[in-house]
Amino acid sequence: MGGAIGAEAAAAEAPPLAVYGRLPDVDQIAISPDGRKLAISLADGEKRVVAIREAAEGSKLLSAVNLESTKLRDVRWAGPEHVLITKSSTAQPYGLSGPKREYWMTIDINLTTKKQHLLMENQEEAMNVVLAVPTVRMLDGVPYAFVEGVHFVDNYGADTLYKINLKTGATRRLDIGGSQDTDDWLVSPDGQPLAQSLYDEQKGAWSLKLKTEHGWVTTAKTESKMGSRRLGGLGRDGRSVLVWMDDEDDTDKTVLREYALDGAHVVIPDSATFDSLIHAPDGSGLVGAKSLLGDERRYTFFDAKLQSSWNAVAKAFPGDQIALESWSDDKRKLVVWVDSPTEGPAYALVDLDTGNARYLADVYAGLTEDGVSEVRPIKYKAADGLEITGYLTLPKGKDPKNLPLVVLPHGGPEGRDTLGFDWWSQALASRGYAVLRPNFRGSEGFGWKFVQAGFGQWGKAMQTDLSDGVRYLAKQGTIDPKRVCIVGGSYGGYAALAGATLDRGVYRCAASVAGPADLKRMLVDSNERFNSGNNSTLRYWLRFMGADRVRDPDLAAISPARMADKVEIPVLLVHGKDDTVVPYVQSTIMAEAMKKAGKPVELVTLNGEDHWLSRGATRLQMLTAVVDFLEKNNPPR
């Protein structure tokens, strides 16, 4: 058959959008400490179920917990007979002031009694929420959950550490933060408070307190304008405390310091390259780290035997990207995420004792090889010579020449894209579009100087980094420069609107999902959310926006809602009604400004949806609206 006929046949066989847009069929699998059971988070439409079954192949289901439409955040084991499920909801509890917030709660599933118990329930002068995923410690064979809760002291909610006996349900307050500034706790292996992090939002000052035989002692202090340093967990010996700090010799680098209880500290070798940390499965201490160097995911274990074991796991999945998801206490049974460039992501169970590896479940059950498009890493030069990296997803069955393009910038803006499977770009590619995901200046993972290059470049060079990528692909002959649209979420949504107002003449349509449109209003709302005129979130935004204060007149020049009269292309706005990061009003302001300017605009409201597209139905609603908009205004064929 001819190439054109083959291309049409491939397009006709594209999977339904629901395969990509609904919640993943499986999105978490945790193995029990003894390696005998699995807790599996499943989604069936809007319904969430955590299934608990034996790990052996063909084994029976032990229990299933129906979470209905709960937004699931974490599943973890606490000993071999308890599973802790952390969920969240958007709410404004009775008696509290301010806008809606995302509140987390944790349920304990007792496999012995078959009963469920809400942690922090009915505690005196406290909320029934948790501020972080609980820490688990086994003490004399009994599982305990250590929870950061909210205890009210003099009418303010203090970050308070609670100790919960999961066998009996007994809960006691272990320690109250030394001030309103406490924002993180660390518990020792024997179940005692070991460290607390404190952050003064107004001053941008962070400090570390350690629990010594003489009580709490302030061990380290530093200026940290952009937010709290928080705590990195237990160190290599299980008694020290880890904190990410500026390098004393090179403040452009962040390194991992390991503090002993006497205040002495050392820097973990090569930690400036670490992307995240790996702790022993029982929480007893640091055993390694993950690094993302360019497109390479690297695991570094401090113990040679662990490194050798991991290398053996990697060899079992040649050509795939793998990640450690969960492992047994003896570190011999591992659940790994396996991302195949041709088949998409799945979970597998590896038994190092038997040398066997078997697949447990596909992340997207309806995804076939025909629905996975090729992803290529690319590099190009921005107008000022800065090298930009990114990823180009090519539609399956099409010659990579003169293609229609969707630019899909990431959020953050200090986020980044990676080489692995991305449901949004894969969905667009399945409809015949090439998709460019650029790591524009300001993106993390390419060194601090690359992040700094984004300061003050919100709507400026951060924006033209995107269109420079379009020009590069056009010069290569890969894409048709007359058939380019821009789509994005969060900061990527702002970039889409900026493509319609600031960097005009590049795109023929723009779709913003939860994107900021009026920057002054967004900063004012941020102050209301944090009850503060000087908070780290505000300072973060101002640093990238290049503004001195909330009412800086320069903000108007980079606010799409203030330039709606300049829009010459179709614009789609999609926004969740329960968004607590970029409020829904940002899209209504943009819609009203465009209508006032006589410009056509469509606003799609996602009822009950948050900033992260946590619900399956509304995620699919977003994807369907965006694809319909693209196919109308930039037909792929």
Q: Which pLDDT does position 525 carry in this prediction?
A: 82
How confident is residue 433, by pLDDT bands cut at 50, 70 and 90? very high
Q: Which residues contact 346 (CB under 8 A, 6 or more apart)?
A: 337, 338, 340, 359, 360, 361, 362, 363
Element (H or E) spanning 625, and its range? helix 616-633
Distance CA 32, CA 35 (A): 5
Q: Which of 134-143, 153-162, 480-489, 562-571 has the lowest mean pLDDT?
A: 153-162
Q: Which pLDDT does position 532 carry in this prediction?
A: 57
Q: Which pLDDT does position 541 carry in this prediction?
A: 84
How confident is residue 293, by pLDDT bands cut at 50, 70 and 90? confident
How confident is residue 7, by pLDDT bands cut at 50, 70 and 90? very low
What CATH superfamily is the domain 369-518+559-633?
Answer: Alpha/Beta hydrolase fold, catalytic domain (3.40.50.1820)
The answer on pLDDT for 285 being more than 60 is: yes
In the chain, % of residues over pLDDT 70:
95
How confident is residue 4, by pLDDT bands cut at 50, 70 and 90? very low
Q: Which of 331-340, 454-463, 540-549 has the lowest mean pLDDT?
A: 540-549
Mean pLDDT, rounded, for 561-579: 96
Q: Which pLDDT does position 45 carry in this prediction?
A: 72
Structure tokens at 421: 């499977």
Instruction: Give 553 or 451, the one with higher predicted confidence.
Output: 451
Q: Residue 407: beta bridge partners?
A: 436, 486
Mean pLDDT, rounded, for 585-610: 96
Question: CA dihedral in degrees (578, 582, 585, 589; nearest 10)?
Answer: -150
How confident is residue 101, by pLDDT bands cut at 50, 70 and 90? confident
Q: Which of 438-442, 490-494, 542-546 has the lowest mean pLDDT?
A: 542-546
The answer on pLDDT for 227 being more than 90 is: no
Q: Which pLDDT does position 12 carry in this prediction?
A: 47
Q: Which pLDDT does position 5 carry in this prediction?
A: 32
Q: Is the backbone of residue 336 left (phi > 0), alpha (psi -120 to 50) or beta?
A: beta
The answer on pLDDT for 223 being more than 90 is: no
Domain locations in the chain as residue ranges = 369-518+559-633
Distance CA 312, CA 137 (A): 30
Q: Which pLDDT does position 94 carry in this prediction?
A: 55
Q: Which pLDDT does position 97 carry in this prediction?
A: 59
The answer on pLDDT for 34 being more than 50 is: yes
Best CA proximity match to 423, nearest among 17, 72, 49, 73: 17
Q: Which pLDDT does position 10 carry in this prediction?
A: 39
Distance CA 93, CA 127 (A): 9
The answer on pLDDT for 363 being more than 80 is: yes
Q: Which pLDDT does position 214 carry in this prediction?
A: 87
Q: Which pLDDT does position 110 carry in this prediction?
A: 95
Mean pLDDT, rounded, for 139-159: 89
User: Across all residues in the chain, what is the average pLDDT?
Assistant: 91
Q: Which pLDDT does position 13 carry in this prediction?
A: 73
Best CA proximity match to 231, nearest among 211, 249, 257: 257
Structure tokens at 443: 């993106």
Give the three-class secondary structure for 574: strand
Q: Which pLDDT does position 531 carry in this prediction?
A: 58
Q: What is the largest CA-CA distance in the chain?
A: 81
Q: Which pLDDT does position 519 carry in this prediction?
A: 93
Q: Which pLDDT does position 3 carry in this prediction?
A: 32
